[in-house]
Amino acid sequence: MSINLPYLLFLGDAWDDLSAKTAIGVYQWRPDACVGQLRLPGCVPSVDLPELTIAEGRERGARTLLVGVVNRGGVFSQAWIDTMVAALEAGMDIASGLHARLGDIPAVAETARRCGRRLHDVRHPEGDFPIGSGAPRNGRRLLTVGTDCSVGKMYTTLCLHRAFAARGVDSDFRATGQTGIFIEGSGVAVDAIVSDFMSGAIEQLCPAADHDHWDLIEGQGSLFHPSYAGVSLGLLHGAQPDTLVLCHEPTRTHMRGLPGRALPDLASCIEANLAAARVVSGDVRFAGVSINTKDLEEKAARTLLESCEKELGLPCIDPARDGADRIVDAIL
Amino acid sequence: MSINLPYLLFLGDAWDDLSAKTAIGVYQWRPDACVGQLRLPGCVPSVDLPELTIAEGRERGARTLLVGVVNRGGVFSQAWIDTMVAALEAGMDIASGLHARLGDIPAVAETARRCGRRLHDVRHPEGDFPIGSGAPRNGRRLLTVGTDCSVGKMYTTLCLHRAFAARGVDSDFRATGQTGIFIEGSGVAVDAIVSDFMSGAIEQLCPAADHDHWDLIEGQGSLFHPSYAGVSLGLLHGAQPDTLVLCHEPTRTHMRGLPGRALPDLASCIEANLAAARVVSGDVRFAGVSINTKDLEEKAARTLLESCEKELGLPCIDPARDGADRIVDAIL
């Protein structure tokens, strides 16, 4: 899936930051790829971009309307549909991460067909994916893995990508979730793929490359999360990483969505990921640990990072506090 | 997916046993669920059932035409379509394990609609599957796992089911692949499910049950097969087994479809499956090993089974030679 940039961000009638988190995340990481925002009456959240109509967005070069909002109750309001139709008629494509398909909205589907525009439903990957082979391939590959879902794997991967780029290292960010795909303009939503093709889709996403090229691959889920561990393993095997970075959120009291289920300790999580990765990547190793300490005071954060570092013998950082340089040092 | 039995087996224009292996497998395990076979001119393989027309099959009570043949070149011949339409008009449903969808054949779709018949495409599971929770649930559950794909997991599970039934133990065979689904008349093709829902679909397939009820769950793939390990893990977590049986094919020189890739040794495979299963099932254990020795002489087979048994400290059997009683003894 390859999306034409830049975006006009559509925040619709979002009622809080969480309901517009896709738009906010894309703006945070790719302000250069966003020409403006379009908000309907009643929309609460906002990003620091000009408010544009469809026509103004198109004038400023927007090539895709990004539906960066979740819809209340799972239904599209007529106001959304009118905006989408206008965007298509103005010459934009539309990209969405909603469960509902853009192509299932008759007016949107008909207009896209008539105007020759593309509809990108990142939760509904199209096309044929191969079966994974596990065959060794050239190039360097780093994958972020986690103790749990939503612990900062995309954030850490993007920080690493910035740090690699700052040093002039040839690297690509490889997105595997919807926000990452919008940020990069390409990628594959691995959890939306038919399970037989998970590892093959990831092999296709990060193919053989020059021996000094790095693919920095966004991880998903956790080998210890019983809802999603299969996805995490398919992704791990498809990625064939030589380098892993463990991501963790230390204030979490239970696995996401599963009250009462404890998180794994970091050492067990490292060991399980190494064992699983060795099926495809004999020399795989961890380069560091990324801990999201946003809910800790500075002193508590420092103490935690130092004690983890001592226990694990790996650089332990919070990229939001210090950037990802220490892990990049360990890698390069 | 629940299919009305019995079947009229449709062997089409199959050119060898392999091209009709679905029909042959269903007949082998469920002769009671097959009223006859329907073979087109030129069909080579045959099962030990009367040759029936659609009308004769219907007279003998067939409720579903089972498309038990693969199609050459991925296309349906007109002769197949005529047979399918006639079956629908005679009052049968149709079940198929082909990649192509029955509902994409206009004449078949239209006739099914007109006659109110059901089309079962087991490779295209329909309906909403839940996200897995990993929450502990009652009932006993056994899962077969493998060193590789196609090493006898379905066969072993069915043998265990027979042995349980012979002792009057309340048990169900839970099918996760297409032939197993046809044999049982229900199940879910886990490798055809969107990956996010793998473990949830398996939780739904083998739900909480009485504490002395056994679900005997057909495994898929292998944690060591890089094409499918994610499916195997999603299935393992969804199954939440308290008992595992390892399946192995000792003459295989490499992982199926991956020349040059060695199979894991049995002890490593046992350890990896236990570690992964403990995420959902703290007290999980192996009850035995099922080794497919069909390509070995009797003496070599005995020697191998004895040496594995000694090395692993578990009953090692070939159910095709001796039945599954020794594993059932170990379990009960």
> A231 to chain B: which residues are within 8 Å by CB?
195-196, 198, 230, 234
Proportion of chain A above pLDDT 90, given as a percent: 94
Render pLDDT for B105-121 as a digit per residue (tens, 0 to 9). Answer: 999 999 999 999 999 99
Give the residue from B178, B193, B195 with the most A CB atoms within 10 Å of its CB, the best one to mutate: B195
The percent of residues in chain B predicted with pLDDT above 70, rounded, is 99
Residue with tokens 């390069």: A332
Q: For residue B193, which residues of chain A lie inside 8 Å, CB to CB?
A: 194-195
How many Cβ pairs closer than 8 A exist between chain A and B? 123
Residue B73: pLDDT over 80: no
User: Which residue type does A58 have?
Assistant: R
In percent, the amount of chain B with pLDDT more than 90 equals 94
Distances (CA, A) of B103 to B84, B99, B193, B287: 12, 12, 18, 43
Residue A52 at interface with chain B, using a CB cutoff of 8 Å: no
Output the pTM of the full model: 0.95
For residue A299, the SS3 value is helix
Residues 6+ apart with CB under 8 A from A82: none
Question: What's the pLDDT tens digit per position in A46-75?
Answer: 999 999 999 999 999 999 999 999 877 667
- Average pLDDT rounded to a whole number, residues B308-323: 97
Dihedral of alpha carbons A54, A60, A64, A70, sign: negative
Between the alpha carbon of residue A235 and those of residues A228, B96, B109, B173, B191, the distances in Å are 11, 30, 37, 30, 15
A134 CB neighbour count, 10 Å cutoff: 23
Q: Is residue B75 pLDDT above 80, yes or no?
A: no
Cα torsion A38, A41, A43, A46: sign: positive
Sheet holding A34-39, edge to edge: A34-39, A7-12, A64-67, A93-96, A119-121
For residue B127, the model assigns a pLDDT of 82
> What pLDDT is recorded for position A74?
62
Partners of B2 in the β-ladder:
B186
B190 at interface of A, judged by CB pairs closer than 8 A: yes
- ipTM confidence score: 0.94
Categorize the per-residue pLDDT at A127 as very low, low, confident or very high, splitting at 50, 70 and 90.
confident
A239 in contact with chain B, both atoms CB, cutoff 8 A? no
Distance CA A13, CA B271 (A): 52
Mean pLDDT of A244-250: 98
A237 at B interface, C-beta within 8 A: yes
Position B113 scores a pLDDT of 98
Q: What angle do CA A314, A318, A322 make, to 5 degrees?
A: 105
**Residue B231 distance to chain A (closest CA, Å):** 6
Question: What average pLDDT does range B256-281 have in this prediction?
Answer: 97
What is the average pLDDT score of chain A?
96
Contact by Cβ (8 Å): B6, B35: yes
- The pLDDT tens digits of the residues spanning B178-222 come to 999 999 999 999 999 999 999 999 999 999 999 999 999 999 999
pLDDT (0 to 100) of residue A224: 98
CB distance from A228 to chain B under 8 Å?
Answer: yes
Nearest by CB to A191, which of B196, B226, B227?
Answer: B196
Q: Is B104 helix (H, G, I), strand (E, B) or coil?
A: helix
Taking the C-alpha atoms of residue A192 and residue B23, their distance in angstroms, rounded to an integer, is: 32
Residue A41 reports pLDDT greater than 70? yes
Mean pLDDT over A252-258 rounds to: 95
Question: Is it the case that residue B72 has pLDDT exceeding 80?
Answer: no
pLDDT tens-place string over residues B239-256: 999 999 999 999 999 999
Q: In what order do the strands lie in the sheet with B119-121?
A: B34-39, B7-12, B64-67, B93-96, B119-121
Give the C-alpha separation, B86 to B94, whole Å: 11
- What is the pLDDT, as a whole number, of residue A73? 66
pLDDT (mean) for B277-289:
98
Please compute the mean of the pLDDT values over residues B11-27 and round it to a whole number: 93
For residue B76, the model assigns a pLDDT of 78
Quick: pLDDT tens for A137-181: 999 999 999 999 999 999 999 999 999 999 999 999 999 999 999
Pairwise CB contact (< 8 Å): B196 & A275: no
Residues of A in contact with B198 (CB under 8 A): 195, 230-231
Can you give the pLDDT at residue B74? 62
Q: How far is A313 from chain B (nearest CA, A)?
A: 24
